[in-house]
Structure 1
Amino acid sequence: MDDSDSESVADSQTTDISNAMDDSDIESVDDSHSTTDKTVDNSETVDNTKESHTDWYPVSFLQRLHDFRSEGHLVDVTLCAEGKEIPCHRLVLSACSDYFYTMFNGAHCESKKDKIEIGGVSAEALQQLVDYAYTSKITITFDNVQPLFEAANMLQVKGVEDRCEKFLTNNLSPETCLVTWVLADKVSSEPLLERAKIYTLKHFEDVCVMEEFLELPVDFLKTCISDDGLHAKKEKRVLEVVMLWVRHLKERQTHLKELLECVRFPHVDREYLNGILETDKLLAGVSAINELTQDQSRHARPRHIQGEILVFGGLTRSVKPKPGDDYDSNDDMYKLTLNCDCVDISPLPPIIWRASAACVVNGDVFITGGANARCHAWRYKPSVDSWTNLGPLVNKERLVNSMVALQGQVYVVGGVGTPKWTPVYDVEVYSEMTDSWKLVAPLLNEGVKDFGIASFCDKIFVFGGRTGKCTLLDHSHNTDAVQCYDPTQNVWTYAAPLPNPMQDIAACSVSSKIYLVGGMLAHVLCYDPQQDCYEKMTDRLNLWSECSATTCGSDIYIIGGCGHDDQFPHATVQRYNVTSDTMVLLKDFPITIFNHISVIVPKA
């Protein structure tokens, strides 16, 4: 979800979240047990009371407390909000809320009062929270999520806070992301704030036409249009949005100059800009407007990378196979937007057979794969949609190798030889000038396949993998070794080992670190080459053994994969943002897929 303004949600500039959401979306939650049953149709019902008969006590106990309250038995305090009085028990409130625990522990005057006015919350939200304390049940809708979230945050009812955050996260849309951003800021929910902000940036074209956009506080708007990751097809659209927002309320004109300073005028068509300066008196009247629009050094860098995701190769299956069944090969290339909308599906040419690895250099895709038990290499130029054969590799008798780009050159690394699946430690680099390959220093005596590979700081890093012939469930050949290649010295050395042996992982370089996903990892694992150490990041959202991973800006797109044991593929697409350490689900891939390749190329 996307960021929100630091001003109060009750501020006149802030929109009411209920206006931006569909009333039919409801989440009912019962927290008395851990088991959950969910129904779909954009509503979520969680009933945690459905346990075995041996677990009747918690439910029975809560019911007795609820009965005591209804009967007025042992009631010792009355909460008041907006004229409504809610009798209850101090003990129950203290057990549910740290706010009330602190209030009733004797250090505050409220601990002795019979009636306590609770300001800053609605009577309805307060009643819901008291009911939750006695029943463990709460119903969240688009109508009540905003006041309920604010009340749960203020009264420190964490169970309801978490449910509201989950509800809003699951229902992000162009209509809701802005008000969610503002609300998340008010309740200091950093994960929700980052998700709402990221959503807004990536769906800017859809979000800026919503009525809610005109109500966005100025600080939020400024944050949005100054971000490198803003997805605007043309910079002139950013300028148009700024002018539209300023004109919505006359008093906003005082913010115009500071907002214009966020517009990247070097990327606005000059003829269009000259024309609007002649006709728009408000814009032309801004002090130093000529300096702003003519300074080519200011914001010279474009915003986010405009790219497309290409996916090819791999295996698919629509129904769970029986023992001995074969998977279906994916012989198509899928082209996706960065929002994971599939824009094209085209068959791979006959020359491409079982593509096993790929990397991108100068916008072109270099691919290797097996044909007749031999390794071949090809080049795909997305700009003209053409495929060509590359010169033969030095070691042609290798399969399931990997590839990586380093300093504008293509490297083929490792693999296994046929027919006995013997390790291949050879590493080759491609010369575009001679259309030929040459051997460089081989891998050390460690993993040669199913490893993660990435380039960083003019070096190649190989993480884990498997060595030698082994079955799917035989982990004895897995390694925790990390091998590092320095082309200036033509030598491989060891880096800090992985926390444990790993296979089927993917490695992606972002900024100054390398992120590992896939395999049996339950989370993203971050490797810092400068500190030579590892850090656990956020958890995965689905199993991802033999997934593919590719990077655009600060986002890692993790496509498909399967369970490590059953090898049954799925179509889930997970996007990990390294800046916010958040994982979100995108639209499913068109087919279930694993053991495939994905790359991101510049958008044509």
Structure 2
Amino acid sequence: MAESRQKTVVLQGLGADIFGEILSYIYSGCLHVSINKVQPLYQTADLLQLDYVRDTCGSYIYMNVERSTCVDLYRFADVYSADIVRKACLQEIARHFLEFAGSEELCSLSVDQLTEIISHDELGVTEEITVWEAVLCNKKKLPYHLPYRLHHVPSILPHIRFNLLTSDDKTAILEHPLIKGGPGSSKAIKNVVKKNSNMKRRSGMETVEMALLFTERGDEMLWMDPGKGTYIRCHNDIHPITGAVTSDNDIYILGLETYDSRKKYALFKYNHSGNKWEQKSSLRWYDPDTDDLFEFLIDVDGQLFYLIVTFSMIELKKYNQYTNTWHNCSTPQLDERFEWCVAVSCNRRIYLFTHALFTQTEVMSYNPRADQWCRKPKSDHILDFQNAVAMGTKIFCTDSDFEQTIVYDTKTNKWFGLPGWLKSPLSTNKEIENITLFALQNKLHAVVDHSINSSSDGIIRVQQVFLYDRYEGVWKELSVLPEGPWSTYNPMVPVARMCLPYLNAQSHATYCHFFSANLRYCKYASFI
């Protein structure tokens, strides 16, 4: 190297603080990595050929790939040929493509980077026209200006799947000024259409938001879209206790490690492409002695938490998916004894509701970024609540008789009421066992487990799905569940985006069956 013959070597673009970290590592063998310093540390290590420092920084970057950082890290990894990081970023961008479509971040990428992204089979789009609009038809005033786009149209067009576009979309594209004004653009599109006539659908086009229920025995699960009458049931052996879906659409279930043992829990993660559950970690089962035990698996911004509540204590643990370990968080003190509690994630916080008989509902919230709990104003409503679910910045709660639906606004810390139960046409003589609320496709749903008196068959147990009509302000019957019975005692209905071909492809192994919501309820009722 020429530098070996020089008395003084100038390292261009190297800050004193970063070089100080490198010197500290050389002398002590310890490396201190943070999200603010990791990229310049990686660059410096690459320049100085310090393989251990570079690889350590690469692993740290890989562990911090998320929606807010994936585009920037994708650009960085592409420059430095960090393939593992680049692939993780590409997967994250493809999964959340709709959020990035038309953004300045996306449009600042090179043409090669853009074409790699839009070539991805798992691009999270429901319509192919979205891809065209994102990369070639951006209406915002961005650096991706018209002459630049015209120049690169021939490079980008082959990666748009024209066979997935509607005839109206194709006509609109051909009439677009970008195409009409570009020499040979129309001809190029027609050639691409002929060549790409059999390109397969993207996974986002096969994705449907569905809710998940488990049988009371825990050996079967039911994926459902009750509005469309779609029910898919699959066998499993995870014996669930509580579950959650992260913002990245990762489905986690906390269940018994073995059915005949209550000494250990196991955390399971759902493998979408394999349609199976994979065990991730073990967790000690908390023995509450005589106390009732309430357990919740909760996601906040992609971070998983396990909340344990008894009459005497609260314990909160945070899961690190990269090290597969759990870490303790701060916990609040319980001032009063309560009879029931519900916890839910909303507005980037965990909200815990506790209540005792004939008393106001206590509200506490946990801020993960500050690792801090605080108390909120009590409810003016005396609500013997059964369950809660979040939609946007509001939390919906219902009582055990389904006579009240109360809403807590996390922005204003205020409560207001919604209409509750409509008399079921199944019978006026009903006895509700349990209620589970869930939010599906931005609509409020409830699974009501109740019994009715039948003159011919005696007492019949029916599990029914209701939908809240926000325009009429009433609950409406939607469907009756297939034969279970399905667990509603521990309210847990994870909602996730499911790729139907993955479910269907595994039907021979998982015993999936389809049901129609149009069949009469009595066919699926279980007799008590």
What TM-score do the two structures reach when normalised by structure 1? Answer: 0.39
- Structure with more of its chain in strand, by fraction: 2
What TM-score do the two structures reach when normalised by structure 2? Answer: 0.44
Greater gyration radius: 1
